[in-house]
């Protein structure tokens, strides 16, 4: 699968993440049938800041609920602020009650 096709599949899943919920790079990789490609999902997320799309990229975190992509957002604490505006509690750049706000995308969403 070419990177652009892979990235498009990632973005299609990201677009579905409900407000107030988060998912992980690994959950997205699993949903698109590439379970071992969570790092490539991360590359896709890095790339999405260059796109003119309204994707809720702030809702993608690592498997422990840590805001690992925070430095790819413009401004300081933008990712944290966006998640807090959706009602999530963040402490030391990690989502509190992570399991209760985790959204599991369906396989082949």
Q: What is the pLDDT of residues 33-73, one digit of tens each?
A: 999 999 999 999 998 877 778 899 999 999 999 999 898 88
Are 60 and 77 in contact by the 8 Å Cβ rule? The answer is no
Give every CB contact of residue 70 below 8 A, 6+ residues apart in sequence.
77, 78, 79, 80, 93
With 60 as the cut, is the pLDDT of residue 108 above it?
A: no
pTM of the model: 0.92
Higher pLDDT, 4 or 32: 32
Q: How many CB atoms lie within 10 A of CB 55?
A: 17
With 90 as the cut, is the pLDDT of residue 109 above it?
A: no
Q: Which of 59, 47, 48, 57 is nearest to 86 (CA)?
A: 59
pLDDT interval class at 26 (50, 70, 90): very high
Crossing angle, helix 3-14 and helix 38-48, to 10 degrees?
A: 80
Percent above pLDDT 90 for the chain: 77
Task: Give me the CATH topology for the region 3-101.
Answer: Arc Repressor Mutant, subunit A (1.10.10)
Percent above pLDDT 70 for the chain: 95
CA distances from 27 to 41, 49, 52 (A): 10, 20, 24
């Amino acid at each position: 699968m070419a990177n652009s096709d892979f990235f498009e599949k990632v973005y299609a899943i990201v677009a579905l993440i409900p407000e107030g919920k988060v998912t992980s790079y690994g959950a997205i990789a699993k949903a698109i049938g590439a379970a071992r490609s969570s790092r490539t999902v991360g590359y896709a997320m890095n790339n999405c800041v260059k796109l003119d799309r309204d994707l809720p990229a702030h809702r993608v975190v690592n498997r422990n609920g840590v805001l690992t992509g925070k430095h790819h957002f413009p401004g300081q604490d933008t990712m944290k602020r966006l998640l807090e505006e959706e009602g999530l509690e963040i402490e030391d750049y990690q989502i509190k009650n992570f399991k209760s706000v985790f959204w599991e995308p369906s396989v082949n969403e």
